[in-house]
Structure 1
Amino acid sequence: MRQLYPLLLLLTLSFNYIHSQRPGGDRERGPIVISGKVVDKDDNLPLEYATLVLQSVNNPDKITGGITDIDGNFKVETPPGKYNISIEYISYKTYKLPNQTLTESTDLGTIRLALDVAQLEAVEVVGEKTTVEVRLDKKIYNIGKDLTNSGATITDALNNVPSVDVDVEGAISLRGNENVRILINGKPSALAGFGSTDALTQLPADAIEKVEVITSPSARYDAEGTAGILNIVLKKEKTLGFNGSVNTTIGYPVNSGISVNANLRTDKFNLFNTTGYNYRDAPGNAFYDNTYNDTTSVYNRIIEDREYNRLRKGFNTNLGLEYFITEQSSITGSVFYRTSKSEDETGNTNQRFISNSLDSETYRTEDENEDDDNYQFSLNYINNLDDDGQKLTIDAQYSKGKENKISIIQENNTLPNDDLIVLENVFEQETENEYLIQADYVLPMGDSQFEAGYRGTFEETGTDYRLDSLNQDTSQFDINEDLTNIFTYTENVNALYTQYGNKFGDFSFLLGLRLENTQLKGELSSLYDTAELEEQLGVDVDANFDKNYLGLFPTINLIYELAENENISLGYNRRINRPRGRYVNPFPSRSSRTNIFQGNPDLNPAFANAFDIGYLKRWDKITLTSSIYYQRETDSFERIQEETGQTTTDGIEIIRSIPINLSTNDRIGVEAGMLYSAAKWLRLNSSFNFFQFSTEGEFNGVDYGTTNTSWFARFSSKVSLPAKIDWQTNAFYRGPSSTAQTENGGIFSLNLAFSKDILKDNGTISLNVSDLLNSRKRTSYTETEFFTSDSEFQWRRRQITMGFVYRFNQPKERNRNGRGNNNDEGEEEIEG
């Protein structure tokens, strides 16, 4: 959905005379109202953001005007007089009415604009000027123009968005908080992997039109995600006829792929398809130096040196049909399918010391093969009930995913003897089924707007885990009954919401309230002794549980316009963070023989209250955005490490990681971003985020309270060179941070990209170097009462990628917002 009064063009429109025409100004005669509607001549669809210009004939320097709303309507106050009237819209021929005498309020009726093909080449320049739009509850980044996205994945692209950080393992955080909700086109999606971000590493970045960073979500959105929401909006062509593009990439280490986007649009239907295949290798490495401080372990020091080889092969396709039932209504059906195969090989050289003298050396290999299949079926109905903006939207969606994983873990002594220590086979199967039903109703009432809706999501996840260990005495594999289990996790959420927005002069507000009922169910099938589990966790737990939570989630978003190009905003919202299935599954899963992860079935949702104060200022060439934010989260999740009291057969202490509700978490921070268009050939973009967080809580008698500060910053420059060559540089630095047990060092990375248009601008070739200095590595130091660990981890080495994109029946850039019945979920209707 879209805003009723788009802030973007109000900020960029340079008709300063508008303000002098407000009621109460100095006028000799009372104002009259000029109204009308602007539509596309070919398909009769409304043109949002079209500009009405009223130029006084007697005083040509005296100009006033306005812009059209979501339905193409405009309504402007002006003194009576004689005017030259013109209506303009990017890439369309200007409509002119010269020497019009206006003595009373006048309705110009419906004005139909025709495409101006000769102007299309200039559209690209206009489109490049705006890369950030500020709304009541979010910032919108048009990242599709980022050259470094060529050959990149959606995860790579997100790492170029201010406020967002993607760590070396692909974990996504917003303002330093990983409790972020990922949506695709405003909804949970199989494209995002049902809450896991793994799928985003396999989808091409060139499929993205924009990313909405929603730090103060309105009541329309799920209350899930205490950090906020990232809504990834995918491209959808709206121009008539057949058009599309082909994008190919090749790189080193191996990074190849091809994606095809095709679109056929007529007056009655819009048929669209995106299909892609990728083949990627992501070599990495890690180093761990572990020292044990007690006598439980035979060894006082163990050094691990790991090498990773990760091969990813993936295919995805999305096919949809939008049928225009009437001029006011349409129905869209689409099916998405993604399949991928991962082949990971990890080699681990392990040196063991007694009294700082090398005693033995082992080599461990882990071969992991994973097959994923995901389906999603979607149905969307839109009905614009009247010309005033009254609208009804209904969505239904079904998603199904299946993941099969087989791991073979083998460890051998290499010094002083060469023999087998352990051979294990791990079998994992995870299935997910999710249903979504949603209805939204919008009722404009003059300058105000009322909205109400319902959303139901019903998700079931089943995990089948089995561990077989080789019995060297019998040469047979024995099932480990303590770890083998079937765990089913169900999450059902029913929500009702309502919100009301209005605008009074320079002041806009959006108030909302969301009621959500959450049901969390766990069902266990295993021989595991729950009494032993309770002893390990130190609390009474039940792996077979059925919990219900009913909560109210208010939202407040305010904007006050200090001037036409300056405003301040205030946001408040209450959020929830529900535990995922892995976090409540009580059965340990092995990342190695000596390190296990164990879920906690006693884990409860976390709740947060968040406040945000923002400031925006635009000059001719500079745009500044900034905010101060504070969040207090109760029952926040924290993964802690502790000893299990158990050792491996060769005498190594086994360490467990477990998530717990660790009381409270306070987070306060400040962020700022600046976009500087220094010249036509040079554009600079930078952002900075500084935050402090403190945690209070204890578990099993250990105090895990801590306070820490951290920050991250970005800098990007884009230079237009001769011969239609563009050069972009992206730099990123994340400062040191720490938790109760771990200190993380700073990380710096540098990306370079070049592109050149060829084939009469229908084609573009590009060269992209990701992590030029090969410095994107995480260094950590962990200290507990029983061990310390010094480590370095690099998920992926420096990568070089070449790309080529060819566009058919499609200019390089289109900026034709407002055409068609596209429903960009999440765009607010009320706006300052």
Structure 2
Amino acid sequence: MNLRTNALKNSLTGLLFLFSTLLFAQQEHTVSGTVVDKDAGIPLEYATITFKDPSGELSDQGGVTDFDGNFSIEVKEGTYNILVEYISFKPKTFKNRTINRDIDLGKIVLGISADNLDEVVVTAETTQVDVRLDKKIYNIGKDLTTQGATVSDALSNVPSVTVDIEGGISLRGNENVRILINGKPSAMAGFGDTNVFQQLPADAIERVEVITSPSARYDAEGSAGILNIILKKEKTLGFNGSVSANLGYPTNSQISTNLNLRTDDYNIFTTIGRYYRNSPGNAYFNNTYVNDTGDFDRIIEDREYDRLYTGFNTNVGMEYFLNDRSSITGSVFMRFGDDKDVTTNNTDRFNNDVLDSKTYREQIEKESDESYQGSLNYVNKFNDEGHKLTADFQYSYDNEERPTQIEENQFSPVNSLLARERIFEVETQNEYLIQADYVLPMGEAQFEAGFRSNFEEEKTDYKLSIFEDNQYTLDTLSNVFTYNENVNAVYSQYGNKLGDFSFLLGLRLEHTQLKGDIDPYYSEAVLEDFLQIDFDTNFDKNYLGLFPTVNLIYELKEDENITLGYNRRINRPRGWYINPFPSRSSRTNVFQGNPDLDPAFSNQFDLGYLRKWEKLTLTGSVYYQHETGSFERVQLDPEEDEGSGLTKDGIPIVRMLPINLATEDRFGGEIGTIYNPADWLRLNASFNFFRSIKEGEYDGVDYGNENTSWFGRFSGKVTLPGKIDWQTNAFYRGPTQNAQTETEGIFSMNLALSKELIPNNLTASFNISDVFNSRKRRSLTITDDVITDSEFQWRVRQYTVSLIYRFNQPNKQNRRNESGNSDFEGDDGF
């Protein structure tokens, strides 16, 4: 009996123990804590916390942080490795943590990831720059003065970058800069015509990468370096986006939206914009003719510009996640423009300082523009260590029709018709791009290889009709000019980290074909006789070159390093530099392309320094560049220029022509600071000094020259009472000169006020562009026969009011951190 009783007791005890064990195994406990940014101390929203069972018996569990960086997760009892992650930050792991009760992990601090050998990231709430081995990355979205502005306005606020009066973009004072969109040439960049940036909204930009020492992965084009514009693409799950609208004076109205729908399987994104913008400007030319070259010894021309830009643009795309490691992305970009440019010239003509006659010229140019671009991108990430393969295909098409009417009349002392012309110009561009890149990490090292083929054709159909004998007659200049630029390249590069020393070595092989063909409406002999330039208008040139790159970095300590870069680059002439047909904006001052231009080649060295303190960041660099065959625009003397001649009323025609000079040596230095002394005050400034020495001659004339100049930029942001942000941006470019022209310094200032009407949702801003209306180019050009004193203002002072509404987006502080990692090309592992 006792034996049976004991056996029953033992059985019941065992069952109770087994039941309690099973019940205990299913018990859950709460794990809580807060995740914050190490440097800024701000909470990190949407950080992920994952509980991994080392034995593999339990499936992964986890959750994400809320708006304030807090998390509270129910976890089954057991032993776990706890992984805390946030995009672009170094993850933190708590190994073999036993969860058998409620646990508060407290404050978990994450710092920016240093896994990439090249990455030294500068952080703080207002810091706008990430410094890497071969580039600096600027977050455009944090600049108040770009709200309601254009891409050109945004670029003009980026250190090392200047945007001239006509929208031309330079890097460190050198205009031979390559512009990419998401790492690739794009119709969105206007095929190199930077005027398109004055039509696209700045709020479509996530960041701008200033690449002064490009690795071998990048196209070798652009002796100054590369500007890579990265467009916004939200990474937050769900439907989110923003809508912005602005109204300005002179007329500047625009509405645009960025929308994003992301699920576990796909990500749909779009940017849509509609704009209506008036851009008035003016110019002044005073030509004094030193020698007896015509019927007048002095001509003063006052020019007014009235430009109206209207259009629509959209970028729609979808990324489909094939699995956890691979995806395919397709996108379509479209832009439609209907513009009108009215230019009027009032001209006074003198003989012996006595007014002889007055003329009035009006040019009405319309432009109908349509651009399309389709692209496909495939990414396969073989593991989490960066082993991946990417492949891209892109096709771009652009068509512009420009009908123009020109009429010039003399109205004093008598009325008479001087010129009446009609121009119908159709410009079509097609571009194909095929590219593949392979990245193989090898511990601390990394190997990369790839190829790129880019085929571009630009076709210009130009018809000029001149009114004579009461009828329009097709002029000798009428022609069809076709220009092809085909580039094929392969590259490989290898990087490694040895203690505090890191290096990246690369080699790129490129073959360039430049091909031009002119089909004149008259005979080619008549055309070449009219142009009066000694070159072959039909050409097929081929260039094969090796382009090595070397990038080195030495970490003096955690927040201090020195970088050294070397690269060889090529600068290919663009279509408007090649097309030999003169512009018609003036009968007396014309620009004419040169089909005989060859590419320029350069070698550049760059030595950089970075030092970071708690509230201050200092960056600096010195650089040297030697270029052969550099481009120079020269003004030809009418007395010696057989192609200039006189207008029918006896005025010498002054031509400007691009040529290849023998050499250019350019050296300089730049320094930048970011200082955040308090939460309510943020300051940054940069200074760039450069000097160039050019040697060479054309047609027996020496055009060698020396130029020393500089530019500085300052930005201050203050938080006023009522949480109103006030930002001031000031810019000054020092005087410049070349062989013939001296240009005065230019100063401009922008102001902006911003207020969040609904925190993290609705923001209102007001900004003034060019507060003192001082952004004018004043130049003096001296040749043996002509002295030209000129002033040019592309756009007058602008006032703009903007509203931006955001929905279902992370707060503005955390959006900064999300931009640090992107699927777009340009985020190399090194």
- Give the direction of change, closer, same or farther, for the CA distance of 1:623–1:534 in structure 2 (3 Å limit): farther
Measured after TM superposition, the shift of residue 129 of structure 1 is: 3.6
Matched to 2:495, the amino acid is: G
Matched to 2:621, the amino acid is: S
Aligned match for 1:478, one of 473, 482, 487: 473
- Give the direction of change, closer, same or farther, for the CA distance of 1:87–1:664 in structure 2 (3 Å limit): farther
Deviations 1:430-454 (A, max 9, x none): 0000000110000000000000001
Alignment-derived partner of residue 620 in structure 1: 614
2:466 is the alignment partner of 1:469: yes
Q: How does 1:500-649 map to 2 (within 5 A)?
A: 500-526=494-520, 527=522, 529-530=524-525, 533=528, 539=534, 541-642=535-636, 643=638, 644-649=643-648
C-alpha distance in 1, partners of 2:106/2:425? 66
Aligned match for 2:201, one of 204, 211, 226: 204
- Give the direction of change, closer, same or farther, for the CA distance of 1:252–1:129 in structure 2 (3 Å limit): closer
**Percent identity at matched positions?**
61
- Give the direction of change, closer, same or farther, for the CA distance of 1:599–1:140 in structure 2 (3 Å limit): same
C-alpha distance in 2, partners of 1:469/1:650? 15
C-alpha distance in 2, partners of 1:126/1:538? 56
CA contact (8 A) 1:250 1:802 kept: yes
C-alpha distance in 2, partners of 1:346/1:668? 39
Matched to 1:504, the amino acid is: L
C-alpha distance in 2, partners of 1:12/1:454? 39
C-alpha distance in 1, partners of 2:564/2:359? 58
Q: How many residues align?
A: 739
Aligned match for 2:282, one of 281, 285, 299: 285
Alignment-derived partner of residue 739 in structure 1: 738
Structure 1 length as normaliser, TM-score?
0.85
C-alpha distance in 2, partners of 1:71/1:732? 34
Q: How does 1:16-165 map to 2 (within 5 A)?
A: 41=62, 88=108, 128-165=125-162
CA contact (8 A) 1:138 1:214 kept: yes
C-alpha distance in 1, partners of 2:449/2:160? 30
Deviations 1:297-354 (A, max 9, x none): 1100000011111110121011111101000001111100001121111111000000
Deviations 1:518-575 (A, max 9, x none): 1111111013545874896664x32221111110000000110111111110000000
- Give the direction of change, closer, same or farther, for the CA distance of 1:528–1:86 in structure 2 (3 Å limit): farther
2:456 is the alignment partner of 1:459: yes
Q: Which moved more, 1:150-159 or 1:818-827?
A: 818-827
2:718 is the alignment partner of 1:689: no
CA contact (8 A) 1:496 1:516 kept: yes
Q: What is the DSSP-based 3-state SS (H/G/I as helix, E as strand, rest coil) of the residue aligned with 2:157?
A: coil
Aligned match for 2:270, one of 251, 255, 273: 273
2:166 is the alignment partner of 1:169: yes
Name the larger-Rg structure: 2
- Give the direction of change, closer, same or farther, for the CA distance of 1:537–1:554 in structure 2 (3 Å limit): farther
Aligned match for 1:447, one of 428, 444, 448: 444
CA contact (8 A) 2:87 2:817 kept: no
Measured after TM superposition, the shift of residue 466 of structure 1 is: 1.0
- Give the direction of change, closer, same or farther, for the CA distance of 1:533–1:85 in structure 2 (3 Å limit): farther
C-alpha distance in 2, partners of 1:761/1:520? 51
Aligned match for 1:227, one of 213, 224, 229: 224
CA contact (8 A) 1:136 1:828 kept: no
Q: What is the DSSP-based 3-state SS (H/G/I as helix, E as strand, rest coil) of the residue aligned with 2:192?
A: coil
C-alpha distance in 1, partners of 2:730/2:816? 31
Larger RCO (CA under 8 A, 6+ residues apart): 1
Measured after TM superposition, the shift of residue 85 of structure 1 is: 8.1
C-alpha distance in 2, partners of 1:325/1:71? 25
Alignment-derived partner of residue 369 in structure 2: 372
CA contact (8 A) 2:821 2:827 kept: no
Alignment-derived partner of residue 115 in structure 2: none
Q: Which moved more, 1:671-680 or 1:542-551?
A: 542-551
C-alpha distance in 2, partners of 1:211/1:500? 25
Q: What is the DSSP-based 3-state SS (H/G/I as helix, E as strand, rest coil) of the residue aligned with 2:719?
A: strand
Q: What is the DSSP-based 3-state SS (H/G/I as helix, E as strand, rest coil) of the residue aligned with 2:221?
A: coil
Matched to 2:506, the amino acid is: G
- Give the direction of change, closer, same or farther, for the CA distance of 1:71–1:687 in structure 2 (3 Å limit): closer
Deviations 1:362-419 (A, max 9, x none): 0011111011100000101100012332100011100000011111111001110122
C-alpha distance in 2, partners of 1:317/1:667? 40
- Give the direction of change, closer, same or farther, for the CA distance of 1:228–1:126 in structure 2 (3 Å limit): closer
C-alpha distance in 2, partners of 1:820/1:616? 19
Q: What is the DSSP-based 3-state SS (H/G/I as helix, E as strand, rest coil) of the residue aligned with 1:610?
A: strand
Query: Could you list the runs of 5+ residues in structure 2 that have no partner in the other structure?
Result: 1-35, 42-53, 66-82, 96-103, 113-121
C-alpha distance in 1, partners of 2:304/2:583? 21
Measured after TM superposition, the shift of residue 426 of structure 1 is: 1.1
C-alpha distance in 2, partners of 1:67/1:565? 23
Alignment-derived partner of residue 244 in structure 1: 241
Measured after TM superposition, the shift of residue 817 of structure 1 is: 4.8
- Give the direction of change, closer, same or farther, for the CA distance of 1:819–1:154 in structure 2 (3 Å limit): closer
CA contact (8 A) 1:342 1:371 kept: yes
- Give the direction of change, closer, same or farther, for the CA distance of 1:782–1:367 in structure 2 (3 Å limit): same
Q: Which moved more, 1:749-758 or 1:808-817?
A: 808-817
Q: How does 1:801-820 map to 2 (within 5 A)?
A: 801-813=800-812, 814-815=814-815, 817=817
Structure 2 length as normaliser, TM-score?
0.85
Matched to 2:728, the amino acid is: T
C-alpha distance in 1, partners of 2:546/2:824? 26
Alignment-derived partner of residue 797 in structure 2: 798
Measured after TM superposition, the shift of residue 810 of structure 1 is: 1.7
Alignment-derived partner of residue 409 in structure 2: 412
CA contact (8 A) 1:613 1:628 kept: yes
C-alpha distance in 2, partners of 1:816/1:763? 18
Aligned match for 1:261, one of 258, 261, 266: 258
- Give the direction of change, closer, same or farther, for the CA distance of 1:530–1:802 in structure 2 (3 Å limit): same
Alignment-derived partner of residue 119 in structure 1: none
CA contact (8 A) 1:705 1:740 kept: yes
C-alpha distance in 1, partners of 2:514/2:598? 9
C-alpha distance in 2, partners of 1:223/1:796? 33
Measured after TM superposition, the shift of residue 590 of structure 1 is: 2.0
Deviations 1:650-704 (A, max 9, x none): 0000111111111111111010001110111000110000100011001111110
Alignment-derived partner of residue 481 in structure 2: 487
Q: What is the root-mean-square deviation in Å for CA atoms of aligned residues?
A: 2.8
Alignment-derived partner of residue 768 in structure 1: 767
2:300 is the alignment partner of 1:303: yes
Aligned match for 1:325, one of 299, 322, 326: 322
Deviations 1:595-637 (A, max 9, x none): 2222211111000001100011111111000000111110011
Query: Could you list the runs of 5+ residues in structure 1 that have no partner in the other structure?
Result: 1-8, 15-33, 45-64, 78-83, 93-124
CA contact (8 A) 1:325 1:331 kept: yes
CA contact (8 A) 2:163 2:169 kept: yes
- Give the direction of change, closer, same or farther, for the CA distance of 1:728–1:88 in structure 2 (3 Å limit): same
Matched to 1:700, the amino acid is: D
Alignment-derived partner of residue 356 in structure 1: 353
C-alpha distance in 2, partners of 1:347/1:626? 46
Alignment-derived partner of residue 118 in structure 2: none
Measured after TM superposition, the shift of residue 507 of structure 1 is: 0.7
Aligned match for 1:401, one of 398, 401, 416: 398
Matched to 2:261, the amino acid is: L
Q: What is the DSSP-based 3-state SS (H/G/I as helix, E as strand, rest coil) of the residue aligned with 1:194?
A: helix
Deviations 1:782-829 (A, max 9, x none): 000110000111111100000001111124413375699942311231
- Give the direction of change, closer, same or farther, for the CA distance of 1:356–1:224 in structure 2 (3 Å limit): same
Alignment-derived partner of residue 11 in structure 2: none
Measured after TM superposition, the shift of residue 130 of structure 1 is: 2.6
Q: What is the DSSP-based 3-state SS (H/G/I as helix, E as strand, rest coil) of the residue aligned with 2:191?
A: coil
